[in-house]
Chain A
Amino acid sequence: MTALEELFRVPHRTENPYIKDWKGNGGRVIGFTCSYVPEEIIHAAGLLPYRIEARGCRETDLADVYMHRFNCTYARCILQEGLSDRYDFLDGMCLLNGCEQIRRLYEIWDAEHKTDYMYMVTIPHSVYDEGLAWYRDEIFNFKEKLTSDFAVRCSKKDLQNSIQVYNETRRLIRELYELRKTKDVPISGSEALRIVLSAYVMPRETYNELLKLALHEVRSREGNSSYKARLLVGGSAVDGPELFELIEGMGGMIVADTLCCGSRQFDMTVSEDADPLDALTRAYYVKNPCPRMMNEYKSRLKYTIDAAQAASVDGVILQKIVFCDNHAVDGTMLADDLEAAGIPTMVMERDHMLTDTGRLRTRVEAFMERIAGR
């Protein structure tokens, strides 16, 4: 199996050989969700950060006992996987007040004692100086609690090393995104997404080595130009390739995204010169913002337009999970402003469990007819 094939695999959490090896060697795994949790802290403490996802979840009957069906399916699917004991490999869990759904998930996860170590990092809802100081305190407290509860060290040097490792990932993934800007696209959006998602499920050093090799393979691939339209996908968290596969199955080619688990996580660099905690705080706080950041709409719009233009897209699909309020409000505004900027945009509602595929295909097909060959 080549490095590229290995990164396409994105193993299911219950059959993840990297987790098995890590745990087999006495390693401990910390689950986290939300792109505002600085993974470097967990990594520097010698623990394995694992971005929580719910790939493969098809039913939410256990989660529905605690969360009503008008909570978002992403949070409910994660809870379902937890309640089904499919996250038993976690030694700890760090969530963030990214949205009310995840905050609620934290409370239930904690109440059900699914993981012994639980922590919630909080971040203000807007970007300002006092907020920066607050967030720094939060990250510092998280580091202190993590190191004391797990009896591990997390020195300044450890943090500097982790920042370098993670910056390397970001640089490599940006390279991958650059390769997709050409007319002959060497890698489909769903394949690229698989590569990106793999970053969250294996030790980062291993990932970086695989990604370096995989990039060589991508460069030597023949490009594909037989698509109907070039697309950018934004909106709610996407944790598996199925949605991208559905869109690309209709003739689209996803060449860019503004997703929290995708470009927004990697389109930043943490300073390697400043104090590591200061550097992490600043980089995560002011990065390309999630819709949960209330005063940042203009920068989100600019980021989306810039990404769309850089990748020469024909249209934007803003997909949102039903009941995801952050992306519902933002998506509506973005759609109007992107259209006004001359970028055709479609707003698509979906569930995390992608079963209502006929309706989605019809909508994508109609959008593609509108924008193809413009």
Chain B
Amino acid sequence: MIVLGCDVGAMAAKIVLLENGNLIGHKIAAAEGKIAEVVDTSIDRLLAATGIGMKDIHECGGTGRGEKYISFAHTGEGLMNCLARGGLWAVPEARTIVDMGGLAGTVLSINEKGKVLEYRSNDRCAAGTGFFLELAAQALELTVDELGPLSRQAKGRVQISSQCAVFRESEIVTHVNEGKDVADIVAGINHALGLAAATMVRRLGAKPEIVVTGGVAKNEGVVKALEANVGMEIKAAGTDPQLIGAIGAALGAASSSQRRETG
């Protein structure tokens, strides 16, 4: 059975194809401009690349803040449930999911069945999100993808401690103007984000295994800072962590289809 999952987030649309629970294709596109068109085009390209036709798809699942932009028929579900299900798919022992997305950071406590027991979110503040990483990268004239590897070259770490993403951006500009090493500034940025996520994990109470998801989880510096501050090992998702929500949506659609068919 082939299912399609679509997670339309604040900064990116993530689309996956699963066949019998295995990931067989994916596509990530920036959620800019007319998002409904971005989603449609991305799906067309993914299908073309994998040689799968729309008629082969048994079920579709959609989630994310931009779920309403998914134009085709699908089963919609909240992002928390999708992250929980996707996290468990990636790491069966996962009990804590740390999702670091473009618009919000969320920490979920889940049980062995993927049920969300409790969660904490920082959705009122951009300072701990992927959006802030974009701002930071722009201020340093880098791409977001460069921030993780660059922090490996840091000899020290500058302090980034403003409470607001906008003030943080001006803090970064101050460091640049003072001639601080860019790698050290990047290390400070990654540390600040890891610390914000660690705070939410502590607030909820960390239960192993901890899995990080979302676009920010691709930044090794942030994940290392999170790991150091939580004092527990962070399990790698084993697949692109940004896809976990979409995978959860696809799995949700698959199981609701099975439920329908088995009556």
Residues of A within 8 A of B (CB): 58-62, 64-65, 69-70, 73, 322, 351, 353, 355-359
Binds A, one of B63-71, B82-90, B171-179, B215-223: B171-179
Contact B161 A357 (CB under 8 A): no
Q: How far is the CB of A126 from chain B (nearest CB, A)?
A: 31
Contact A357 B159 (CB under 8 A): no
Contact A69 B125 (CB under 8 A): yes
Residues of B within 8 A of A (CB): 122, 124-125, 127, 159-164, 167-168, 170-171, 173-174, 177-178, 195-196, 198-199, 202-203, 229
**What is the bound-complex CA distance between A351 and B203, given in angstroms?**
23
**What is the bound-complex CA distance between A73 and B159, given in angstroms?**
15
Across-interface contacts of B195 in A (CB, < 8 A): 59, 61
Across-interface contacts of A70 in B (CB, < 8 A): 124-125, 163
Contact A358 B159 (CB under 8 A): no
Residues A65 and B170 in contact in the complex (CB < 8 Å), given A58-B161, A59-B161, A355-B159: no
Interface centre among A58, A60, A65, A322 (most CB of B within 10 A): A65
**What is the bound-complex CA distance between A202 and B33, given in angstroms?**
62
Across-interface contacts of A355 in B (CB, < 8 A): 159-162, 171
Across-interface contacts of A356 in B (CB, < 8 A): 162, 167-168, 170-171, 174
Q: In chain B, what residue has the closest Cβ to A66? A: B203
**What is the bound-complex CA distance between A15 and B128, given in angstroms?**
34
**What is the bound-complex CA distance between A59 and B199, given in angstroms?**
11
Contact B161 A358 (CB under 8 A): no
Residues A65 and B199 in contact in the complex (CB < 8 Å), given A356-B167, A358-B171: yes
**What is the bound-complex CA distance between A351 and B127, given in angstroms?**
14
Q: Which of B122, B125, B161, B167 contacts A359 (CB 8 A)?
A: B167
**What is the bound-complex CA distance between A357 and B176, given in angstroms?**
12
A-B contact pairs, 11 of them (CB 8 A): A61-B195, A61-B196, A61-B202, A61-B229, A70-B125, A322-B164, A353-B161, A355-B160, A358-B173, A359-B167, A359-B170
Across-interface contacts of B178 in A (CB, < 8 A): 358
Q: In chain A, what residue has the closest Cβ to B197? A: A61
Residues A65 and B162 in contact in the complex (CB < 8 Å), given A356-B167, A357-B174, A358-B173: no
Q: In chain A, what residue has the closest Cβ to B127? A: A69
Nearest 9 pairs of A and B residues by beta carbon: A358-B174, A64-B199, A353-B161, A359-B170, A356-B171, A61-B195, A65-B202, A65-B203, A356-B162
